[in-house]
Structure formats: C-alpha cells, structure tokens
Structure 1
Amino acid sequence: MTDIRRTVLWVVFTFSLLLLWDAWQRHNGRPSMFGGAVATSAAPASAPPNHPATHPAAGPGASVAPAPTAPVAGDIVTIETDRVRAQFDTLGGSLVQVELLGHADDSAERAPMKVLERSRHYAAQTGLVEVAGAPNHTTALRLVSTERKLAEGAQQLNLRFESEPQGGLKLVKTYTLERGSYAIKVRHEVQNVSETALQPRLYLQLQRDGSKFDGGVAQSFGAATFTGPAIYHDKIKYTKVEFGDLDKKAFDGERQAQDGWVAMAQHFFVSAWLRETAGPREFFARRIAPGLYTVGMLVPLNQIAPGATAVADDVLFVGPQEEKNLAQLAHGFDLVKDYGWFHILAKPLFWLLDQIHKMVGNWGWAIVLLVVLLKIAFYGLNASAYKSMAKMKKVNPRIMELRERLKDNPQQMQQEMMRLYKEEKVNPLGSCLPMLLQIPFFIALYWVLLSSVEMRHAPWLGWITDLSAKDPWYVLPALMTASSLLQVWLQPAPPDPMQAKLMWIMPLMFSFMFFFFPAGLVLYWLVNNLLSIAQQWMINKQLGVTH
C-alpha cells in the first residue's frame, strides 16, 4: 500500500510537470508530445506584403481581391494618439503597423511594442468583392484628411481615404481613433457611381506571418500560449486555428453565421475585426503563401441603387489582452486570453488576483497573497494529507524493519504491514486525494500568471523588475530547488533504495526548467512550497515526528 500511495503521488506530480514541459517545447517551436504541427517560423522574404486572400467558397482559382499585375507602392501615413502610433498604407488604406506606446518590447532599447508590423507582413486589410474591378486592399487610395496627432483635449482623431471609381463603385474608408482606447472604429462607405444596381461584399481580414513572437522578440524558453488565427461565432464558439493546420488545408469548420468576429492572437496581445451589428457573414482562414496566413470575414452589403451609398461600421482592435476591456468590446472576445484547459477555474482566479492587486498595488505581492489565500482555503485538505504523511514517516522505521526481516516472504510482509497500519490508524492513500483535488486550481493559477499581460514588465522587488521574464540572478529558482529538496526531506523515505534516490533526483531534474521560467511563475511555486513546508513541519511537530 505504501508503494501504491507513493506511485500515485509521483504519477500526479510527474504528469503535472510533463504538461509544463510540453508547453515549453511547443513554445520553442518543437513538436508537442501529444501531436500537432509546428508553425512556420517566419514568412519568406519573397512573400508580398499585400498578397490577396483566396475566397474560401469560390474554388482555388478565385480571389477575394485580385492584385494588379504590377501593384504601385503606396505612401506610409503615420498618426499618433495617447495609446498608439499607427502607420497606414495608401495602397488599400490598410493599417500596416501599430506601436503600443504604453507597452515596451523586450529589446534593450525598450521601444514601443509592435503588434501589426510591416516587416512581418502583419496588417489589417479590407476591400470589396463580387463586383469585377471593385476597390480592394491593393487599390491606391487618396488620403483626404490632414490630422496626424491627437490634439491636446481632443477625444478622437479621424483618418479618411477615398478611392477613384472602380467597377462602378467608389470606396471611402474612415478610421476613428479615440483617446484612451485601442479599439479603432472603421467606417466603409460604398457609393454606386454606375447606372445599374450593384451588391458587393465587404471583406475584413488580418494577414500575418507564422512566426511566434512574445513581447517583441522570439523567446528561447517559457511555456506556450496560443499564437495564430481565431474565429468566434455562436455555432462554433471560440475556435483556434493552428498555422500548421492551415498548411494542410483552409479552415473547413462552420463558416456561415449571424454574429462573431475574427482575430490574430499571440502571447499578451491580439488584433481583431469586431462587427458590432448582427447579420450574415462568412468566415475564412487559410495559408496564402508559404509562411503567410490570413483570417477574416465576408459581409454582404445591401443592394446599392445607382447614386446610392451603403455604409458598414466595424471595430478594429489592436492591443493588449486586458481581460476586463476585451469582454466589453464583443461577446466572447475575452476568450482570446489563453488559459489552456483550465479556463473555468482561471477566470475567477484572475479576478481575485486583480482585486488583491488593487489593494496592494504590486503584482508580485498580489501573487504571494493569492497563494496564501489558496493555502488557507485548502488548509483542511492539506492538513489531512500532511497528517497522513507524518504518520507514515513515524511508522516508517518499523515498515523498513518489516521489509528487511520478511523480504523472503512477501505475503507475510504485506499482512504484517497492513496490521501495523491498522494498529497505528495510518491510511497509506490518505495524502493522495487532497493533493489531487488541488492540482487543477494550482495549474489554473499557473496559466493565469503565464497569460496575463499585466505581469509583463511588472516589477516585484529588488532585482525582479519583470515578472514575465526569467530571474536575471536565478535567486528564485535556486530557492525553489532548495524548498523542493526540503519537502522531500520532510516526507517519509521509501523503503526501496532506488525509490529513495529518485525522490531526491526528480526535484533536481524538474527544477532545472524553473531557471528559465518567468519570475512570476517561479515566485508562485516558491511561495506554495514554503507554505506547504511550514504546514508539514507544524503537523510533524504536533504528532511528535522526528527527522
């Protein structure tokens, strides 16, 4: 029974850390142990920055926005608000780069974080289809507004592009950037300048290379949150589409819906087209060139009579995954914050962490206090587990004596051990269930700390200036390793010498990973270990267990 209890504990412990290891592998571009392809690392230099998306329903030869044979290079227009510095290309009036002024990248210069980025062919594009020759994201547009910077005291800034009549249609595209917001209002006005009624469709798409970037530079270590296209509507809810899957075939899930949005998600940040009004739309996601992908939606416009104008209003969000803000923009939009398998537990844990942070004003101390609260909540379960461990440690010398004396008679040895457990009122499996019940909560907290942009570049104390980066002096990982070894010392030693050695070796092996994990995650594990050690020591002392 002792071996069974210990085996169960090691299986649980090993599986939990195996999940972390697998996430680490996927984040570094290596295949998952559970299957799944690795995304292409980057778009090739030959990939054109305005490569058209292919229509998802019209067959392989059709195009949503056929590019001219020799596209004319557009002019770059830069505007700035209190939140963003944005670059627009007059070729299509596309948003081709966004720098978040309140979020630095991870370079030594701490330049503003780029989400949309010209050098990576990452852009937000729109245009018209279903009418031959209609303006699209490869059409040269004329800039008709003069504002370049949000004026002091002003609440919004407008940027307006107009096309020449093409295919009987004139397209006017207006971006409205507001103070204090990462959400950009985008209005499309489609005027019919022909003599016949026309009914085009508007496409809204995000184009991006397949690289996985975290904070502005590719990361060498760390666990993986999702990077890639995402589609949401009521029929399929939130659906992530892996780049590797798009290398094999275009998105073939439910494409028709009356609501929903599309996004390009990455660690901490997201871009998304959010349609405010209900109505029919068709979703698509596909690879459009080696290492280059697109996700978007097609929206039918009402039939436009000659001389009439159709208007479509949408929201383009480019910014950090701040959960409370995302939830206010669109139904289900907060789901882009990747909590892995434990979303239902992670959301309330983040809410609690956020409330603690409002009181203490420091995310590091908020993590410490949250772990303390969880330990208090599970105090009874832990006490039961640690009492079982303490009793096992107390009778362990007698167990080892039995095993040595009766090693040639296994049946009698098991009978004597069961008698001893009964006399001492020891349950060899008593420490397993309490630990099993707590594991989902602590893994959920792990994902909260991993996914929350609030931790990014957030200081704790002294040398820890960024809770989302590894400890530069490796102090926290070293303390965590020491605490893990102390926990082993407090537990009953296995009678089997090989198992005893493994109990000391395993913490050292897994602690190696923590030297490269973000400081916030290591802090969480360290505090949890220290509180567990304190409780185990107290219980051992109460029961008179010596070491």
Structure 2
Amino acid sequence: MDKNTYTGFFMILVILVGFSFWMNHTNKEELAKQHKQHTIDSLNRIDSLKQAKLAVKVAPGEKPVIDSAVLKSPFGAATMGSEQLVTLENADLRVKLSTRGGKVYSVELKNYKTFDKKPLILFDGSSNHFGLNLNAAGKSINTDKLYFTPSAPSLTVNGKDSSSLTMRLSYSPTQYIDYIYSLKGEGNKLELSIKPTGLDDVVASTNSVNLQWTATLRKQEKDMKLERQYSTVYFKNSDNDVDYLSVGKDDNKTINDKKLQWFSFKQHFFSNVLISKAGMSNANLSVAINPNDTANVKSMTASVTLNKDNSGAVPMEFYFGPNRFKTLQAQGYDLEKQVDLGWGPLKYINRFATLPVFNVLSSFNWNYGLIILALTVILKLVLSPLTYKSYLSMAKMRVLKPEMDEIKAKVGEDNPTLLQQEYMKLYKKAGVNPLGGCLPMLLQMPIVIAFFRFFPSLFELRGQSFLWMHDLSTYDSVIKFGTSLPFLGDHISLMCLLMTISTLIYTYFNNQISGATGQMKYIGYVTPIIFLGALNGYPAGLNYYYFLANMFTFLQQFLIRQMVDDKKIHAQIQENKKKPEDATKKKKSGFQARMEEMMRQQQQAQQAKGKK
C-alpha cells in the first residue's frame, strides 16, 4: 500500500461520511440507525480489503478502484476479513465462537480432563465446519466461509442468569442473517436460533434451510481402539426410534422418508448433539475413520434440512457433555439411548435391573471398586439358587460315573448310539437329568454377557481409581511391549491376567466336581486363554467384576459342598432305581423323551445299514 492507496481510502471514507450526513439531513429520524450501520459496514469492508489486498486495483498515478465483482457477488464483503474468537462461558462449558462462519469454533468441558489430564476439548479449529448452504442471486454459497460481525455479549437473557451473543452475516444494512447464541449459567446446552431478515428477494425463499456440519473428534481416552469402538453418529427419527451408523467401519446413511429430531456426533464418553425444535428432514449422515490418525477418533458429517418455525426462525440447541445415563436422560429427547447397554434382552437386563442397583449403590458415595464388589455380591446372592441346583446336578453325575463306566465297558465305544441309550436308561432309573447342571448355567449367561456391555459403557467409572488401577474405565497395563503383538496387543492388563488365572483355577475345581474326562476336561482350559486375548484391552472394571465373580463362585461351591453329602446322594439314587417303572416315567422330561426317540431312530438306521 503506497501513499496514493491510503489517500484513496481516505477519500472513500470522506465521501461515505458526507453521504451519510446528507441523507441524515433529508430524513433524520428514519435513516439515522441505517446510516450508522452502513458507515460501520463500509469501514469493515475497507479494513478487509486493506488486509486481504485482493479487491483493490491500483495503477501508477491512479486512484484505487474496488473490484466490483467482489462487492456485487452475494455477501461479497463478507468473503474477506480476519477471524476473531468470542467466548461464551458458564459453570460447565467454555464455548468459543468464530467470526468466520459464525460457528462454534471449539467446546471445552470445564469439569473434565482427558486421560492424560489435559483440558477436554471436544473439537476445535479447521477440522470443524458448520454452515448454511444458500442459493443467492443464482449462486451457491456456504456461510462457513463467510465472515460474521459479533455483537457485544449480553450477560442476562430475559432476566435469567444467561449469556447471549449474536453473530450477524450482513448482505446490506437491512438484509442479514443472525446466529443468536444463548448459554445458561450452568448446564451443557447451548441454544442457537438462526434468523434471516429481509432476504426473501436475495436467497431462495423456502420454509427451511440446509445445514452442513462436519467435526473431527479428538482423542480423549487412553485406548484409541476401544474409544473408536464406541464412537459413531446416532440419530432419532419421527417414530421415536434411535439408531446409529456402523462403529467399526466407514458408513453413511440417507434418510428421506422420515424426519429427525436430533443427531449426535457421539464419542465413547462424550457427545455433540444437535437438536432441532422444528424438526429436520433430508438427512445425510456419515462417519469415517483414518486408522493412521493417532490424535483424532473419527470424522463425522451431517447434512440436514432444518425447518423454520412460525416466526421464520430456525430454533436449535446443542448438547455438549458426558454420556452419563442419568445426565442424558435429564436432557430429554431420549438422548440416554446413546449409551450402549447391549442388544435384545441384554439391554433390558442392564436398563431395568443392573443400572438401578448400581445407581442405588452409587448414592452411598463409596469408591467405585467397592460398588462393583457390592454389585457382585448382590448378583451372586440372587443367582445362588441356580448355582446350588447346578452343583447338585453335577454331584449326581459324579456319583453315577462308576456305573456309567461299567456300561461303557460292556457296550463299548464303537456303538455310540447304543451307549447313549443305556446312559439314558440309567438317568431315568436314577431320576437324574443330565442337563441339570447346564441349564442353570445357561440361565446365568445373559447376565454375564449383559455385564460385558454394561461396564465399558459406564461413564461413572471414567477416571475412578481402585487399588493399583488408576482408571477403571480402561485397561491397567502391568507390562508394555512397545509394539503391538498378535492376540495380546501392546500390553498385558494385570486385572485381566488375574481374571484368567482365577478362571483356570475355577475350571480345574469344576472338573473335579463334575467328573469331566477326555476332551471335555481340556476344553474348559482353552476358553480362559481366549478371554485373555479378548478382554486384555477392555476396562479394568469389567475384568475386576469377572475376577470377583470367580472368587465368590469358589466361596459358594465351598459352602454348598459342606451341605451336599455324596453318600446321601448315592443312597437317594439307589432308592430311585428301586422305584417302579411308572414312578420313573413321571419324571421323564420332554427332552429325555426326544433324546430316546432320536437314539432309537439312529439305532434302527444303523441296523438297516448293517443288513445291507
């Protein structure tokens, strides 16, 4: 910029100010506010041109000329400027708003930290895009690239403890789009109302606007793999169904047949939710993973059509906060359905049984390690009748084993169908159900699997320590390899190792009780090894529960063994064998009848095959 350029700018300013005074003389009351705003907009344009050096053409000895193509294009002056950040803050959130796009630039949750004790920022910077797609004067533009003018923040809204800020995108002094942000004194919701004014002749007039929001979510937890496993886009449609995109791969979904009430860029323990009070349609949602990115979890995008209310505004609100079930439930809109409590019956077990008990225990303000201990004790007490029946059935089978060995020696192993028939006869005479030990265990399996989904989704465990475990929501590595190994990963979790050892010991004693032999004796030792690899990267809280469950099972079996006498069981079996055939028939189960029929058919088939 040389002397002539600055002189030109000064002359433009003088002309504009003079024009303002002349118009003020003709109609003081009507045009005073408009001229003031016009002067401010002009100064902003000059400042933008001076910084960008884009729209000014200067020839030697000539006055500067503003490129008319820039100023005549839709929102032309707003295409140039410098980015400024304005902060809205309450007890829970620190929200930075950018004049570039008028958008939420970053969100910090003040009451939480990342796993390495740094400020917890959900997203920020150039990886976040939020803009309206507009068709103005025959051209397609996105407000994310335009510069807004912020108002001074207001500390009260309607007499309430709130703060408010308006970001204005000006087309002219009387034509503009306002983004009105409002943040209450506490809480995790940020309200946003988009209000177009005087743009009916400029922007294609409809009852809705198209919004595109893209955010790259930053890593917050220790284990990137587990965090990605629980992060994706969630949404709720007009049928009150909450659904989500794939968690394990890139995915996208177009929804044209139903309106959405909200969508969420959900991470493992935190969510970024956009709620439309007037509804939204024509949604296109996507999630993408970059496996080589070690700083960001996933990139998520939503393109939706937002409906206007009766006043012509687009009312919305954001939820930026934790995925704590009761916190999400308090927000309304079924946001708590983002917490993954499992599928089918597992979800109902966790939702209506496990979670209420956990919340009651949490109300005592105990350490969460003690809460998991109490939860395990309660569960074992509830399931103790099934455990007793399972043990008693295995004891009966153990007592019958010598007689089964005699039958096996007489029949031989080369005729398995006949051998099973003889076994079934023995079971029937003795009044023993061979599946009596399996059925109680099978009934317990849904609860065991339900806990597998419950603990990894439990926000309350995040950052909570117990014994040597610094964070119950992630693994407790006792050995780090420095590189990723097949099956184990890059570490060994101490609690997972203890859980595996306890399961191996449990398997050994269980084989002693049941009298298992052959392959069945060794299959039980393979499963814990598989669990070591599968659960090594899972939360220490989950492995701690499984470890406690094994310990209490040992205790239960010890107590039951004191109450169950093998001699009495043997005497009872002998009494059953002496009973008339009719008495034993009444005890035959439907399963036993089907097994006997199947074996008879197999034996007939083998006999027919032998005759041929």
Within 5 Å, give how 1:333-344 maps onto structure 2. 333-341=335-343, 342-344=346-348
Cα distance in 2, alignment partners of residues 68 and 448 from structure 1: 54
| Alignment correspondent of 1:51 | none
| Alignment correspondent of 1:504 | 525
Number of residue pairs aligned between Structure 1 and Structure 2? 462
Cα distance in 2, alignment partners of residues 301 and 232 from structure 1: 19
Deviation of 1:429 after TM superposition, in Å, equals 0.6
Q: Does 1:188 align with 2:194?
A: yes
Deviation of 1:97 after TM superposition, in Å, equals 1.6
| Alpha-carbon distance change, 141 to 131 in structure 1, aligned in 2, over 3 angstroms | same
Cα distance in 2, alignment partners of residues 196 and 117 from structure 1: 32
Deviation of 1:67 after TM superposition, in Å, equals 12
Query: What amino acid does structure 2 have at the position aligned with 1:262?
Result: F
Within 5 Å, give how 1:509-520 maps onto structure 2. 509-520=530-541
Root-mean-square deviation over aligned CA pairs: 3.7
CA offsets, 1:9-39, max 9 Å, x none?
Answer: xxxxxxxxxxxxxxxxxxxxxxxxxxxxxxx
| Alpha-carbon distance change, 243 to 438 in structure 1, aligned in 2, over 3 angstroms | closer
Q: Does 1:144 align with 2:160?
A: no
Q: Does 1:113 align with 2:159?
A: no
Query: What amino acid does structure 1 have at the position aligned with 2:275?
Result: L
> Which residue, out of 321, 330, 333, partners 1:331?
333
Compare the two structures and name the one with the higher strand fraction: 2
CA offsets, 1:416-462, max 9 Å, x none?
Answer: 43344345433211122222222222322222211121111112x32
Cα distance in 2, alignment partners of residues 194 and 410 from structure 1: 88
Contact 2:165 2:182 in 1 (8 A): yes
Deviation of 1:316 after TM superposition, in Å, equals 0.6
Q: Does 1:386 align with 2:391?
A: yes
Deviation of 1:181 after TM superposition, in Å, equals 0.8
| Alpha-carbon distance change, 255 to 293 in structure 1, aligned in 2, over 3 angstroms | farther
Query: Which runs of 5 or more residues in structure 1 are unaligned?
Result: 1-64, 304-308
| Alpha-carbon distance change, 89 to 274 in structure 1, aligned in 2, over 3 angstroms | same
CA offsets, 1:244-275, max 9 Å, x none?
Answer: 8866xx52334442x61111112111111112
Deviation of 1:183 after TM superposition, in Å, equals 0.8
| Alignment correspondent of 2:267 | 266
| Alignment correspondent of 1:56 | none
Cα distance in 1, alignment partners of residues 448 and 76 from structure 2: 51
Query: Which runs of 5 or more residues in structure 2 are unaligned?
Result: 1-73, 291-297, 479-492, 568-612
Secondary structure of 1:137's counterpart equals helix
Cα distance in 1, alignment partners of residues 215 and 131 from structure 2: 14
Contact 1:163 1:170 in 2 (8 A): yes
Q: Does 1:313 align with 2:332?
A: no
Cα distance in 2, alignment partners of residues 367 and 66 from structure 1: 59
| Alignment correspondent of 1:417 | 423
**Is 182-191 or 238-247 further displaced after alignment?**
238-247
> Which residue, out of 510, 520, 523, partners 1:491?
510
| Alignment correspondent of 2:184 | 178
| Alignment correspondent of 2:284 | 284
CA offsets, 1:176-203, max 9 Å, x none?
Answer: 2223311111122221156689446334
| Alignment correspondent of 1:523 | 544
Deviation of 1:373 after TM superposition, in Å, equals 1.8
Cα distance in 2, alignment partners of residues 202 and 475 from structure 1: 54
Secondary structure of 2:388's counterpart equals helix
Deviation of 1:496 after TM superposition, in Å, equals 4.5
* Percent of paired sites with the same residue: 21
Contact 1:199 1:302 in 2 (8 A): no
Cα distance in 1, alignment partners of residues 286 and 413 from structure 2: 66
Contact 1:83 1:101 in 2 (8 A): yes
Cα distance in 1, alignment partners of residues 385 and 219 from structure 2: 40
Within 5 Å, give how 1:285-300 maps onto structure 2. 285-286=285-286, 293-300=300-307
| Alpha-carbon distance change, 70 to 405 in structure 1, aligned in 2, over 3 angstroms | farther
Query: What amino acid does structure 2 have at the position aligned with 1:502?
Result: I
| Alignment correspondent of 1:470 | 475
Deviation of 1:72 after TM superposition, in Å, equals 5.8
Secondary structure of 2:463's counterpart equals coil
Deviation of 1:388 after TM superposition, in Å, equals 1.2
Deviation of 1:205 after TM superposition, in Å, equals 4.4
Cα distance in 1, alignment partners of residues 289 and 355 from structure 2: 39
Cα distance in 1, alignment partners of residues 499 and 315 from structure 2: 52
> Which residue, out of 446, 457, 477, partners 2:452?
446
Cα distance in 1, alignment partners of residues 196 and 114 from structure 2: 38
Within 5 Å, give how 1:369-384 maps onto structure 2. 369-384=374-389
| Alignment correspondent of 2:45 | none
| Alignment correspondent of 1:163 | 169
Cα distance in 2, alignment partners of residues 422 and 203 from structure 1: 72
Contact 1:214 1:267 in 2 (8 A): no
Deviation of 1:518 after TM superposition, in Å, equals 0.9
Deviation of 1:69 after TM superposition, in Å, equals 13
Secondary structure of 2:396's counterpart equals helix
**Post-superposition, which runs of at least 4 consecutive aligned residues in structure 1 deviate over 6 A?**
65-71, 194-197, 243-246, 287-291
Bigger Cα Rg: 2
| Alpha-carbon distance change, 513 to 173 in structure 1, aligned in 2, over 3 angstroms | same
Contact 1:183 1:317 in 2 (8 A): yes
| Alpha-carbon distance change, 487 to 288 in structure 1, aligned in 2, over 3 angstroms | closer
Deviation of 1:170 after TM superposition, in Å, equals 0.8
Deviation of 1:229 after TM superposition, in Å, equals 1.7
Contact 1:207 1:293 in 2 (8 A): yes
| Alpha-carbon distance change, 66 to 437 in structure 1, aligned in 2, over 3 angstroms | farther
CA offsets, 1:148-180, max 9 Å, x none?
Answer: x99xxx932223211112798411112222233
Deviation of 1:315 after TM superposition, in Å, equals 0.8
| Alpha-carbon distance change, 465 to 287 in structure 1, aligned in 2, over 3 angstroms | closer
Cα distance in 2, alignment partners of residues 415 and 135 from structure 1: 77
| Alignment correspondent of 1:36 | none
> Which residue, out of 215, 223, 235, partners 1:208?
215
The TM-score normalised by the length of structure 2 is: 0.67
Secondary structure of 2:476's counterpart equals coil
Deviation of 1:475 after TM superposition, in Å, equals 4.3
Query: What amino acid does structure 2 have at the position aligned with 1:476?
Result: M
Contact 1:467 1:518 in 2 (8 A): yes
Deviation of 1:376 after TM superposition, in Å, equals 2.1
Deviation of 1:94 after TM superposition, in Å, equals 1.1
| Alpha-carbon distance change, 394 to 161 in structure 1, aligned in 2, over 3 angstroms | same
Deviation of 1:130 after TM superposition, in Å, equals 5.0
Contact 2:469 2:476 in 1 (8 A): yes
| Alpha-carbon distance change, 244 to 535 in structure 1, aligned in 2, over 3 angstroms | closer
Cα distance in 2, alignment partners of residues 408 and 540 from structure 1: 33
> Which residue, out of 336, 353, 369, partners 1:364?
369
Within 5 Å, give how 1:420-431 maps onto structure 2. 420-431=426-437
Query: What amino acid does structure 1 have at the position aligned with 2:324?
Result: E
| Alignment correspondent of 1:38 | none
The TM-score normalised by the length of structure 1 is: 0.74
| Alignment correspondent of 2:561 | 540
Secondary structure of 1:338's counterpart equals coil
| Alpha-carbon distance change, 68 to 146 in structure 1, aligned in 2, over 3 angstroms | closer
| Alignment correspondent of 1:59 | none
Higher RCO (CA < 8 A, seq sep 6+): 1
CA offsets, 1:192-241, max 9 Å, x none?
Answer: 156689446334443134x7x66345525x48744222221123711212
| Alignment correspondent of 1:18 | none
Cα distance in 1, alignment partners of residues 387 and 224 from structure 2: 36
Secondary structure of 2:192's counterpart equals strand
Cα distance in 2, alignment partners of residues 366 and 67 from structure 1: 61
Cα distance in 2, alignment partners of residues 339 and 531 from structure 1: 25
| Alignment correspondent of 1:43 | none
Cα distance in 2, alignment partners of residues 532 and 337 from structure 1: 30
